[in-house]
Amino acid sequence: MIELKVINQSDPLKRKAEKQTEQEEFSPMDPPDAYSPPNLEAIPYEEMHPFLQQLMDEHKTCIKGLDDFEAILLHIQEKGLDREVNGKLSQFFEFFDNNIVKHNQKEEKDLFPLLQQKLMESGEHGHGLTPVTAVDMLEDDHIKVIQLAAVVFNFFGLVMRLPDANSRLVVLDAALEQGKVLIEMLRLHIFREDNIVFVQAQQLISAEEFEAMAG
């Protein structure tokens, strides 16, 4: 079971590799401003391999689903829960399973193993006792996303079953807050993939290797 107090007190988006020195240093996946990517040469969408383009297209679908979920949370915050909203919540969590989870599984199965190898070979990793790459951090994000989505889903389900009105309000507030955290976590995760990791993949993986993934 996830401790919500721990989730609130720690930033689930950031994780730094161990450093051999105490000098302050920023990971490419953890820049000072989360939405300011490091100095990587931008690669236009049109120049990305079709395999990466497909993943980026799926990201756009995911973002649309997150926008819809955010609108649902705002409606609940302003007007409360009702049967229609409950139906929309169910639709989002079905979307989450059928789109976001399956998309992440595709990345983990097809892209991440080879990209991890390429990042290690090129020195694009942390230099602690256990080298950490961007792939490790993305996989960690995938786990956190599933865990947090389960928390939000269970909270909303619990709200309707609690007999005490005050308890329902407390749990509903927690559900809304963690729902917002889930949205921001996924948006930042997608931003990092599109603007950092996929750029590295395009630079390090050959066209032939991408074709093997697609096959």
DSSP-derived secondary structure letter, 14? -
Fold of 48-118+132-214: Four Helix Bundle (Hemerythrin (Met), subunit A) (1.20.120)
Q: DSSP readout, 178-190?
A: HHHHHHHHHHHHH
Q: What is the structure's pLDDT at 77?
A: 94
Q: What is the structure's pLDDT at 82?
A: 85
Task: For the beta carbon of residue 135, count every other beta carbon within 10 angstroms.
Answer: 26
Q: How far is CA 102 from CA 55, 77, 116, 188, in A?
A: 11, 29, 20, 18
Domain boundaries, the chain: 48-118+132-214
* Full-model pTM: 0.81
DSSP-derived secondary structure letter, 194? I
What confidence tens digit (pLDDT) does each residue in 77-123 have?
Answer: 999 888 889 999 999 999 999 999 999 999 999 999 999 999 999 88
CA distance 204 to 207: 10
